[in-house]
């Protein structure tokens, strides 16, 4: 995964016009229930964030792309859970991780709408909370408000974390 993140960051550095579409796709995949279990993309998002200060990429388009991608991924997961209900647990790759949906269900039942915001920041919950919210028919607009707000905060957090690391490494490189 580390090599993938590095190669992707190198590509973005060399082809900055592709930065926003790549961030959108990475955030979408990271938030989509089935894909996020197979290929966690948060490391690549942090690596791209590290390029913001050191290569002149603009934060704002990357932030919006990451937020929209993450919100769309959760929206698709919510829709999938709403449409297929309990059958989702028997579908691959979730069938290989039987503990994920019950954990998401418990979390959604305990925390309600705030579970969408909280779950965005915790790996296994990120994959299961939107599905569980759809399965248990959390009100659509309540879900969407929490979804979009949390997606924008999550995107900013990952990109800014990478930016701070990138600037710190650049400073250390100059000092050493």
CA–CA dist 80, 134 (Å, integer): 7
Q: What angle do CA 122, 96, 69 make, to 5 degrees?
A: 40
Q: Which two three-digit tokens encode residue 42?
A: 């948060």
User: What confidence score (pLDDT) does residue 29 get?
Assistant: 92
* Mean pLDDT on 24-45: 85
Alpha carbon 175 to chain centroid, angstroms: 34
Q: What are the C-alpha distances in Å from 27 to residues 40, 95, 105, 164?
A: 10, 23, 23, 19
Tens digits of residue pLDDT in 36-95: 767 778 888 999 999 998 788 999 999 999 999 999 999 999 999 999 988 888 887 778
Q: Which two three-digit tokens encode residue 136?
A: 């248990």
DSSP state letter for 91 = S
Q: How confident is the model at residue 169 (pLDDT cuts 50, 70, 90)?
A: confident
CB 42, CB 69: distance < 8 Å = no
Phi, psi for 167 (deg, rounded to 5): -70, -35
Q: Is the C-alpha dihedral spanning 59, 62, 67, 70 positive or negative?
A: negative
User: What confidence score (pLDDT) does residue 1 get?
Assistant: 57
User: What confidence score (pLDDT) does residue 75 get?
Assistant: 97
Q: Which two three-digit tokens encode residue 81?
A: 């859970």
What is the chain's mean pLDDT, rounded? 89
User: CB under 8 Å to 106, separation ≥6 — which residues?
Assistant: none
5, pLDDT greater than 80: no
Percentage of residues of the chain with pLDDT beyond 90: 56
């Amino acid at each position: 995964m580390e090599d993938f993140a590095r190669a992707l960051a190198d590509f973005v550095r060399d082809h900055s016009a592709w930065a926003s579409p790549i961030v959108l796709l990475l955030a979408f995949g990271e938030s989509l229930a089935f894909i996020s279990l197979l290929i966690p993309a948060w490391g690549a998002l942090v690596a791209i964030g590290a390029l913001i200060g050191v290569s002149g990429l603009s934060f704002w388009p990357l932030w919006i792309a990451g937020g929209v991608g993450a919100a769309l991924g959760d929206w698709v997961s919510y829709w999938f859970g709403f449409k297929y209900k309990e059958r989702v647990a028997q579908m691959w790759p979730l069938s290989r991780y039987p503990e994920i949906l019950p954990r998401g269900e418990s979390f959604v039942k305990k925390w309600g709408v705030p579970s969408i915001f909280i779950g965005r920041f915790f790996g296994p919950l990120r994959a299961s909370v939107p599905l569980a919210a759809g399965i248990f028919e959390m009100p659509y607009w309540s879900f969407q408000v929490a979804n979009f707000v949390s997606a924008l905060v999550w995107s900013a957090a990952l990109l800014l974390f990478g930016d701070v690391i990138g600037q710190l490494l650049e400073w250390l490189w100059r000092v050493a």
